[in-house]
Amino acid sequence: MVQIRKQCELIRVDKDEKLSAGLEKAAEIILASGVVAYPTESFYGLAVNATDTKAIQRLFVIKKRRDDHPILILIPSKELLAQYVEHVPDIAHELIKRFWPGGLTMIFEAGPRVSPLLTAGTGKIGVRLSSNPIATSLARVVGVPITGTSANISGQPACLTAREVFHTLGAKVNLILDGGKTKGEKGSTLLDVTANPPLLLREGMVGRDQLRRFISI
């Protein structure tokens, strides 16, 4: 098992030759119940093994996040979605074809493999396939879904750079994958597809007008 350092380590992964080694190290840390910060298409996120109760509990402590606030997961491919949700409605299939990978998080009925800690007792789980190649590659190398919560203290601004993550969270994070500055501006759009019609909970990178082509909102 990998030895997790007490101090936070930062690895540049903005060059292809460094990406593979950085992802392998990050995956080892995540599978050993560690915490890794990584870039997404909006802000930096915090990844733990989404099937590891100990790691999820640690994540809540790091973010000072209330346990009644759910945490979404990132999957490495569309094909794995059915392993973590109870049912994929027809409209969700249409939205996946149009908006995945990308900035749309869809909320499904959680499957039995999803920790209740992530659903905050709602029985529902937010799932996304990221368009950021580092985020998606990390989930693929880990081999299980990773958490997609922002790398910050709950209620504080999200981080756009690895350096901001380091200054905000420091040694609470085991590793930061530095992929350069992220775009920021808006987080992912949250759409509850367990409702009929789907319920827009938060407008983000995917706008209301884009969604209106598929659903009435």
User: Would you call the peptide bond into 198 cis, given omega within 30 degrees of 0 as the criterion?
Assistant: no
Query: What confidence score (pLDDT) does residue 4 get?
Result: 62
pLDDT digits (tens, 9 = 90+) for 144-189: 999 999 999 999 999 999 999 999 998 899 999 999 999 998 999 9
Local confidence band at 217 (pLDDT 50, 70, 90 cut-offs)? confident
Q: How far apart are CA 71 and CA 118, in angstroms?
A: 5
Exposed / middle / buried, residue 16 (Cβ in 10 Å: 0-12, 13-18, 19+):
exposed
**Residue 116 falls inside a structural domain:** yes
**Residue 217 falls inside a structural domain:** no
**Residue 98 falls inside a structural domain:** yes
pLDDT digits (tens, 9 = 90+) for 94-128: 999 999 999 999 999 999 999 999 999 999 999 99
Please report, for the domain that includes residue 94, its CATH number.
Answer: 3.90.870.10
**Residue 216 falls inside a structural domain:** no
The answer to whether the beta carbons of residues 97 and 127 sit under 8 Å apart is no
pLDDT at residue 73 above 90? yes
**Residue 1 falls inside a structural domain:** no
- When pLDDT is averaged across residues 65-90 and rounded to a whole number, the result is 96
Residue 199 corresponds to which tokens in the numbers above? 């319920």
Taking phi over 0 as left and psi of -120 to 50 as alpha, with beta for the rest, 29 belongs to: alpha
Q: How far apart are CA 183 and CA 164, in angstroms?
A: 14
**Residue 47 falls inside a structural domain:** yes
Give the residue numbers spanning the domain of 84. Answer: 9-211
- The CA-to-CA distance between both ends of the chain, in Å, stands at 49
**Residue 4 falls inside a structural domain:** no
The answer to whether the beta carbons of residues 101 and 136 sit under 8 Å apart is yes
Q: How many domains does the chain have?
A: 1
pTM recorded for the entire structure: 0.93
